[in-house]
Amino acid sequence: MSHPIPDVVVYDAPDPHHNEGNAFALDARRTQDTFNPAQAYVLTLGAGQSRNKILRVLNSIAQEFGHASLNECPWEKLNYDAVLAFRVRQMEKGLSPSTVNLQICTLRMVAKQAWLKGMMSIETYSAIREVKSVRGSRVSKGRALNTRETGKLIAQSELKGTAIGVRDAAIIALAVGCGMRRAEIATLKLQNINHQTRVITILGKGNKERKVAPSDDVWCRFEDWLKVRGEEGCENVFVAVKKGDNIQPYWAITASAIYQLLKSRAGDSQVSAFTPHDLRRTFATRLLESGADINTVRQAMGHASIITTQRYDKRDEHGGRGDKEGRALSVI
């Protein structure tokens, strides 16, 4: 049984033979007068698996609302009650929390496109954003650290003003403030830093590049380490520091060493156990709390698929609501 969006106007059905053989292809014939928020959202995604997945999700949602496909559904008529009722129905069907959450996330992003185009009021869009995700019965993997915990990690590292402390504070700041993987931190090169624009080029998985612009507090700690390190030695930014604060400029730090130093700093700071990847989850969660949309976070994380990014969202566990005006938040 379908459940139409209240007070909708149904568009004329498209040519059934258009894009035959590719049920998820975009209708390139649409004009400005028939702007479709769902199509607009899909076009913000990278080509490939992520886009195809969301196209399938949108078609499924459109059918739930009583329309043949995403091309026929009047998405601009969405409202809080319709999305909330949809969430309840999907839960009653016994769908997994991850499936329902992906659908709700997709509806939020479509609503955003409708609002950006002036087809939906800010009040309606804001209300739709307030529809909560579904909590699963299983404990999700990993956690996001709160600002008190990350602050303690930084403060403990900087406590004695040692070279190793300055280095560790910079590593923690990059992991939390830029979402860098420990392997990305370990292999970061001096040549990939633009001091004039304060932009860092990261070489991620699959040799994919992405650029990040650290916040002031992150950049300051990063620069502090660069001054201590000097320009001598290997091309890697982070190098080993031996006993007696003896910097080894030709000995690049390893990802395993980063794991061990984070474990040590956690114990010294009396912060509950976490993994290095939890700092990356912290970055994603805080970005979402600050008002960033899921696709922006996907790009910042270097993910190919928005589905992967969604797993990093720990807002329900984190307890934060974020800055509703979308201002950037301090990450440390």
Question: Which pLDDT value is given to residue 133?
Answer: 84
Long-range Cβ contacts of 36-39 (<8 Å, 24+ apart) = 36/70, 36/71, 36/75, 37/75, 37/76, 37/110, 37/111, 37/113, 37/114, 37/117, 37/119, 37/120, 38/62, 38/70, 38/73, 38/75, 38/110, 38/113, 39/70, 39/71
Distance CA 89, CA 64 (A): 10
Angle at which helices 80-92 and 97-116 cross, to 10°:
160
- Residues annotated catalytic, as ranges: 181, 205, 277, 280, 303, 312
Question: Which pLDDT value is given to residue 302?
Answer: 87
| Tokens encoding 117 | 């185009």
Question: Which pLDDT value is given to residue 211?
Answer: 93
Instruction: Show the 3-state SS of the chain.
Output: CCCCCCCCCCCCCCCCCCCCCCCCCCCCCCCHHHCCHHHHHHHCCCCCHHHHHHHHHHHHHHHHCCCCCCCCCCHHHCCHHHHHHHHHHHHHCCCCHHHHHHHHHHHHHHHHHHHHCCCCCHHHHHHHHCCCCCCCCCCCCCCCCCHHHHHHHHHHHHCCCCHHHHHHHHHHHHHHHHCCCHHHHHCCEHHHEECCCCEEEEECHHHCEEEECCCHHHHHHHHHHHHHHCCCCCCECCEEEECCCEEEEEEECCHHHHHHHHHHHHHHHCCCCCCHHHHHHHHHHHHHHCCCCHHHHHHHHCCCCHHHHHCCCCHHHHCCCCCCCCCCCCCC
| Tokens encoding 83 | 């999305």
| Tokens encoding 94 | 């016994």
Q: Give the pLDDT confidence of 132-185 residue by residue, as tens digits.
A: 888 764 445 789 999 999 999 999 999 989 999 999 999 999 999 999 999 999
- Which architecture does CATH list for 147-318? Orthogonal Bundle (1.10)
Q: Are 153 and 269 in contact (CB under 8 A)?
A: yes
Within the chain, which residues score under 70 in pLDDT? 1-34, 46-49, 136-140, 316-332
Residues in the chain: 332
* Spatial CB neighbours of 313, under 8 Å, sequence gap ≥ 6: 133, 284, 285, 288, 294
Closest CA to 291 of 245, 316, 323, 315: 323
pTM over 0.75: no
Question: Which pLDDT value is given to residue 330?
Answer: 47
The alpha carbon of residue 239 and the mean position of all alpha carbons in its chain are separated, in whole angstroms, by 29
